[in-house]
Structure formats: structure tokens, C-alpha cells
Amino acid sequence: MKQPEVVFYTRSRCPLCDKAKDVIMELKKEYDFNLIEKDIDGSGELTEKYGLMIPVVEIDGDEVQFGNIDVITLSEALTEKN
């Protein structure tokens, strides 16, 4: 079974992003997944798509949560994927 791919869309100077990263790193201790972190500020396309939603977490291409990222929602999504 392949590991889920978690894509974390973030940007600098974003307190919600910092909190979300802490949640993701905490879950990394319990779940096996590949983490890809993308800074949207380097891409006009990503900034246009996610600018007001940041942070955004996708798992295997499915948008799971944005804004205030919580451990319960991500944990449930990772459990489904594993």
C-alpha cells in the first residue's frame, strides 16, 4: 500500500500556516505519509487559487481542509487513506 501524499499550501508571515504545520508534524509521528510543502507566493496560479484560503491541505489530490487546520479532521482523513 502506497503512502498518502499530503500537500501543504502555505506562505510566509502566516500565523495560521505555522499552526497548521505544527498539526501536520504532530500527525507525521502517528501516520506514514509523504509531505510536500508548497509556498504559494512563488506561483501566481497558486496565489490566485488559494490566496484567501491559506493554509490548505490536500491528501492524494483531495482538498481536505483550509484556514484553521485541526488535528481531528486531518487525522480522520489520513485514517481513511491508510
What pLDDT shows up at residue 41? Answer: 94
Q: Would you say residue 38 lies in a domain?
A: yes
Q: Would you say residue 78 lies in a domain?
A: no
pTM of the model: 0.93
Q: Would you say residue 81 lies in a domain?
A: no
Residues of the chain above pLDDT 90, percent? 94
Q: Would you say residue 39 lies in a domain?
A: yes
CATH number of the domain where residue 57 is located? 3.40.30.10
Which domain does 61 fall in, by range? 1-14+34-70
Q: Would you say residue 56 lies in a domain?
A: yes
R_g of the chain computed on alpha carbons: 12
Q: Would you say residue 75 lies in a domain?
A: no
**What is the layout of strands, in order, in the sheet containing 62-66?**
34-39, 5-10, 56-59, 62-66
Band (pLDDT 50/70/90 cuts) for residue 28 is very high
